[in-house]
Chains A and B, each alone.
Chain A
Amino acid sequence: MMEFTIDSAMIVLMVSLIPALIRVIKGPSLPDRVIALDVVASIVVAIILVHCIRSGSLYYLTGATVVALVAFLGTVALALYIRRGGAS
């Protein structure tokens, strides 16, 4: 029962990557793509945490923290870039 639950949560997370990636591809402007990439980074952090539950290895928690930190820094850098004129 435990493995079934963890596998189905993993499948739900992987399915939820698809709409976010569609928005990354077809987003009309650059901020749309930045927001969608933020969602993708959150889903990747969630997948890493579910894999941490599944494999029982606790080192992945540090990796999830690092991925969240890098996603935040990337979002802030792109926000400053858009504000200074961006790719227009």
Chain B
Amino acid sequence: MREVLIYFFLFFGAVMMLIAAIGCLRLPDLYTRMHAATKSGTVGIMGIVIAMMIHVGDTSVILRGMLVILFFLLTAPVAAHMIGRAAYRSGVPLWEKTCVDEWKKQEPDSEE
């Protein structure tokens, strides 16, 4: 039972990382690529860390693994937000089929 759980979480994490990489290659736009990379990457790391926690089963390893998961959950949205904001302000174009752009209606430099 425990080995089945380890296999499941290991493959789940690895396949999620593969989906993140393929999405980073195939999607048409910087912003959609960022969406694929951030979310699937975080879930993939979580899967592999959970597999390692089940495999070792030690208290210190479980605590450090939870630290890694918490770190990724905290930093991935912050990094994606900063990159997306900087890219929009420096003029990276959106995909031509994008239908909602709420920041365009405001003034471009309204916050500084």
Q: Is B14 a contact partner of A12 (Cβ separation < 8 A)?
A: yes
Q: Is B45 a contact partner of A45 (Cβ separation < 8 A)?
A: yes
The binding surface of chain A is classed by DSSP as helix
Distance from A15 Cβ to chain B, minimum over Cβ atoms (Å): 7
- Contact A31 to B86, CB < 8 A, known contacts A12-B14, A61-B68: yes
B residues touching A (Cβ–Cβ < 8 Å)? 3, 6-7, 10-11, 13-15, 17-18, 20-22, 24-26, 30, 33-34, 37-38, 41-42, 44-45, 48-49, 51-52, 55-56, 58, 61, 64-65, 67-68, 71-72, 75, 78-80, 82-87, 89-90, 92
Q: Give the A interface residue count (CB, 8 A).
A: 50
Distance from A46 Cβ to chain B, minimum over Cβ atoms (Å): 5
> Chain A residues near B37 (CB, 8 Å)?
35-36, 38-39, 42
Name A42's contact: one of B7, B41, B52 (CB within 8 Å). B41
Instruction: Tell me the nearest residue of chain B to A79, going by C-beta.
Output: B82
Q: How far is the CA of A1 from the CA of B43 in the complex (A)?
A: 25
Distance from B40 Cβ to chain A, minimum over Cβ atoms (Å): 9
Q: How far is the CA of A2 from the CA of B11 in the complex (A)?
A: 12
Within 8 A of B (CB), among A34-53: 34-36, 38-39, 42-43, 45-46, 49-50, 52-53
Name B21's contact: one of A39, A65, A88 (CB within 8 Å). A39
A residues touching B (Cβ–Cβ < 8 Å)? 1-2, 5-6, 8-9, 12-13, 15-20, 22-23, 29, 31-32, 34-36, 38-39, 42-43, 45-46, 49-50, 52-53, 58, 61-62, 64-65, 68-69, 72, 75-76, 78-80, 82-83, 85-86, 88
